[in-house]
Amino acid sequence: MTAPRTVEVLLPVAFDRALTYAVPDGLEVAPGDVVVAPLGTRPTVGVVWDGGGAEVEGARLKALLGKVAASGLSASMRGFVDWVAAYTLAPRGQVLRMAMRGLAADEGPREPRMGLKATGKAPGRRTPARDKALAAAANGETWSKKQLAESAGVSASVLDGLVADGALALSPLPPPPPPPRPDPHLPGPELSPEQASAAAALRAAVAARSFSVTLLDGVTGSGKTEVYCEAVAEALAQGRQALVMAPEIALTVPFLDRFAKRFGARPAVWHASVGEKGREAVRRGVADGSIQAVVAARSGLFLPFRDLALVVVDEEHDAAYKQEDGVSYNARDMAVVRGRIEGAAIVLASATPSLETRINAERGRYGRLALPARFGGRTMPEIKAIDMRRAGPVKGEWLAPALVSAVTQTLAAGEQALLFLNRRGYAPLTLCRRCGHRMKCPHCAAWLVEHRFRASLVCHHCGYTAHSPKTCPACAAEDSLVACGPGVERIRDEAVARFPDARVAILSSDLIGAGERLRAELDAIERGAVDIVVGTQMVTKGHHFPGLTLVGAIDADFALGAADPRAAERTFQMLQQVTGRAGRGERPGRALIQTHEPDHPVIRALAANDREGFYRAEAIAREAAMMPPFGRLAAIVVSAPTRELAEAHGRALARSAPKQETVRVLGPAEAPLAMVRGRHRMRLLVQAPRAVDVPAYLRSWLAAAPPARGGVRVAVDVDPQSFM
């Protein structure tokens, strides 16, 4: 007897290794095929991986259960999965799981949907409802049951009766027409000379059919979208595919309409709120090439494109590109990796590029195209700081007098104002006036945030929600709980109270979501049906509201990210983005920033409109501290049910760190967010020069480290973005 043929199969579970299976006689499989394999006793869908295929002696070898008629993973996709896993230290199976999203169990030809058709036979019994149904069906077409019932104004049971009677018969419905395809040959807008030359460079990058990375560095309102749409047009015209990524689902919404205006049809959409059926359709369409353009949140990077020509990473600086749970990867960086593997052009677009990307461009690793001025001769907003120490509001209010009078003037001129505060809910802290008790999350080292619209207290880390209590849970005093500090809901209340005639809208992800509600709100603002917009960071980027001329930033918030080496950069980016919403239409804009540190270099750079100066100073500071992009960082978070366990394991880890001259291991120290979901957290930080292969260092470290026991978990984060 000959030994069985075998293959390696990677399964979408937390295994790093592919498992070896026997291939039953009569089954032909190749790397990339989707197969069903037994995992323990459970049939599991996985992907045939590279390697293996040898003849192995093994009576106990399990056999594949079958093959699935679904588009598999190309060699480049498999290479991408391997690469991401190796870099992030995530098990390969966990990365594979992301690449299998939307995979239907069977993509084979579908059974046609059945509808109803008149047979011409008279029913045995006539009623007015039956007559109506037959009259509607008399046109001879096949109707869906629902449509026929609606059109005739009868219930579904009437139709069932007619089928039983032979007057209606089941009949296959014609397949739905394919969605319209975007047309790359529609004329785009007329571009300014700067835009035109940037667009030509991007078109050339796509036409080159090879890997390249280009930073599209253009100030807010410079028309970056119009420019990168030309690169999309080039990809479409070649019959190839383009992926446009946005850091948040909410930002995909306005892009859909802009894309449709440019190309006559909407792109496919891919993100967490798309339902299972929709995802299956997108996955199938990108795999067979019938879908050419996709707009997606970060997970779209793992779609199995057949012929990917272009990836645009819009707002490339955005921290939301970093996934923090499961596989910790930065979709911006992994887009570059995918581009290298696929030979695709990568465009990183931003008005406030990350220092990482700026330095890559300066050192010639990336190309750089600049749009230094706004489109149409519009000017950048004038930015001023309001010193909250001297010119702040009275206690209990949050809008400084100078901001109030600016809003008043803006409204009087028939223009719109935006009040920005990066804090959801009504108040970040609720405390008892009598005993000083603070309302805390029972599972996290965090305060509960009051959400007054929902009458509840919510933990922003674990989602724990409680009704706002009437009495203090500690001292039982009645009506003693007070809200401290503002969230957007509170700013909205103040705006409504101060400007009773103004139409005030609030935009916050927890209130609006990313669906039709959001679209309706954005439309209303664009049309001028809203006077004051109050919003979280959801409103800071990407949006274009022509009537908006004043932006008020309620709190410049530097202290928040004290442990974060990117705190200054992030604050600069956020304020530059939000102030960049002002004055994009006919009239010039201005912005007021409420701050307790008006002399902070970030505020000074903003007020002086000195972007370059800020980046230069920031680069010097980061280089001196050997912080990214001049050095490398990785974080290891140890969590455990008790602090002692977490600390002990953190110490043991630190002791087992391989000695390498240039690599520093800091900690363990208690994480700024010391407990989440009941787990105590300690952090270690690895700092190394750029030349060090940090993932390799971590791998050899963790392989030799004492195993985590007793509920201890170790999470590795290469290139951390969050320092909580």
Burial of 482 (0-12, 13-18, 19+ CB in 10 A): exposed
Which of these, 40, 2, 3, 67, lies nearest to 19 by C-alpha position? 40
User: Does 229 count as an annotated binding residue?
Assistant: no
Minimal distance in Å, beta carbon 312 to ligand ATP? Answer: 11
Alpha helices in 119-219 (DSSP H): 128-137, 145-152, 156-165, 193-207
Residue 574 contacts residue 535 (beta carbons within 8 Å) = no
Minimal distance in Å, beta carbon 194 to ligand ATP? Answer: 10
Residue 351 interface partner, choices Zn ion, ligand ATP, none, CB cut-off 5-8 Å depending on type: ligand ATP
Which of 108, 180, 189, 710 contacts ligand ATP by CB under 6 A? 189
Tokens describing residue 671: 């994480």
556 to 585, contacts with ligand ATP by CB under 6 A?
A: 580, 584
* Choices 29-37, 319-327, 422-430, 438-446; region in contact with Zn ion by CB under 5 A: 438-446
Which of 102, 223, 367, 668 contacts ligand ATP by CB under 6 A? 223
Tokens describing residue 161: 């009766």
Distances in whole angstroms, Cα of residue 62 to Cα of each of 28, 54, 110 = 16, 15, 31
88 touching ligand ATP, by CB under 6 A: no
* Choices 13-21, 186-194, 400-408, 411-419; region in contact with ligand ATP by CB under 6 A: 186-194
Residue 719 contacts residue 333 (beta carbons within 8 Å) = yes
Residue 191 interface partner, choices ligand ATP, Zn ion, none, CB cut-off 5-8 Å depending on type: ligand ATP
221 touching ligand ATP, by CB under 6 A: yes
Number of residues this chain uses to bind ligand ATP (CB under 6 A): 19
Residue 386 contacts residue 233 (beta carbons within 8 Å) = no
316 touching ligand ATP, by CB under 6 A: no
User: Does 484 count as an annotated binding residue?
Assistant: no
* Choices 37-45, 213-221, 645-653, 716-724; region in contact with ligand ATP by CB under 6 A: 213-221
Alpha-carbon span 361 to 561, nearest angstrom:
27
Alpha-carbon span 529 to 504, nearest angstrom:
9
Tell me how far the alpha carbon of residue 167 is from its chain's centroid. Answer: 52
Alpha-carbon span 566 to 139, nearest angstrom:
67
Residue 189 interface partner, choices ligand ATP, Zn ion, none, CB cut-off 5-8 Å depending on type: ligand ATP
Binding mask 366-395 for ligand ATP (x = CB under 6 A): ---------x--------------------
Minimal distance in Å, beta carbon 518 to ligand ATP? Answer: 17
Which of these, 374, 373, 349, lies nearest to 361 by C-alpha position? 349
331 to 370, contacts with ligand ATP by CB under 6 A?
A: 351
321 touching ligand ATP, by CB under 6 A: no
Alpha-carbon span 466 to 392, nearest angstrom:
33
Residue 462 interface partner, choices Zn ion, ligand ATP, none, CB cut-off 5-8 Å depending on type: Zn ion
Alpha-carbon span 39 to 60, nearest angstrom:
13
Alpha-carbon span 724 to 718, nearest angstrom:
14
User: Does 435 count as an annotated binding residue?
Assistant: yes
DSSP SS3 for 560:
helix
Minimal distance in Å, beta carbon 375 to ligand ATP? Answer: 4
Four-residue CA torsion sign, 206, 208, 213, 214: negative
Which of these, 3, 16, 7, lies nearest to 67 by C-alpha position? 7
Minimal distance in Å, beta carbon 488 to ligand ATP? Answer: 21
Alpha-carbon span 667 to 687, nearest angstrom:
11
Alpha-carbon span 39 to 11, nearest angstrom:
9
Between 303 and 346, CB nearer to ligand ATP: 346
* Choices 51-59, 155-163, 441-449, 591-599; region in contact with Zn ion by CB under 5 A: 441-449
Which of 34, 444, 646, 718 contacts Zn ion by CB under 5 A? 444
440 touching Zn ion, by CB under 5 A: no
Q: Closest residue to ligand ATP, Cβ-based?
A: 223
Minimal distance in Å, beta carbon 190 to ligand ATP? Answer: 6
Which of 78, 97, 101, 224 contacts ligand ATP by CB under 6 A? 224
DSSP SS3 for 666:
strand
Alpha-carbon span 541 to 549, nearest angstrom:
15
* Choices 102-110, 201-209, 459-467, 620-628; region in contact with Zn ion by CB under 5 A: 459-467
DSSP conformation class of 54: -
Distances in whole angstroms, Cα of residue 160 to Cα of each of 20, 117, 156, 165, 550 = 52, 12, 6, 9, 61
Residue 695 interface partner, choices ligand ATP, Zn ion, none, CB cut-off 5-8 Å depending on type: none
Minimal distance in Å, beta carbon 566 to ligand ATP? Answer: 19
Minimal distance in Å, beta carbon 32 to Zn ion? Answer: 42
Residue 226 interface partner, choices Zn ion, ligand ATP, none, CB cut-off 5-8 Å depending on type: ligand ATP
Alpha-carbon span 22 to 5, nearest angstrom:
6
User: Does 462 count as an annotated binding residue?
Assistant: yes
Four-residue CA torsion sign, 595, 596, 597, 599: positive
* Choices 140-148, 184-192, 427-435, 463-471; region in contact with ligand ATP by CB under 6 A: 184-192
Between 159 and 198, CB nearer to ligand ATP: 198
User: Does 459 count as an annotated binding residue?
Assistant: yes
Binding mask 133-172 for ligand ATP (x = CB under 6 A): ----------------------------------------
DSSP conformation class of 392: -
Tokens describing residue 344: 């695709």
Alpha-carbon span 223 to 533, nearest angstrom:
23
Which of these, 256, 329, 341, lies nearest to 294 by C-alpha position? 256
540 touching ligand ATP, by CB under 6 A: no
Tell me the binding residues for Zn(2+).
432, 435, 441, 444, 459, 462, 472, 475
Q: Give me the residues that bind Zn ion (CB under 5 A), please.
A: 441, 443-444, 459, 461-462, 464
Q: Give me the residues that bind ligand ATP (CB under 6 A), please.
A: 189-192, 195, 218, 220-226, 351, 375, 542, 544, 580, 584
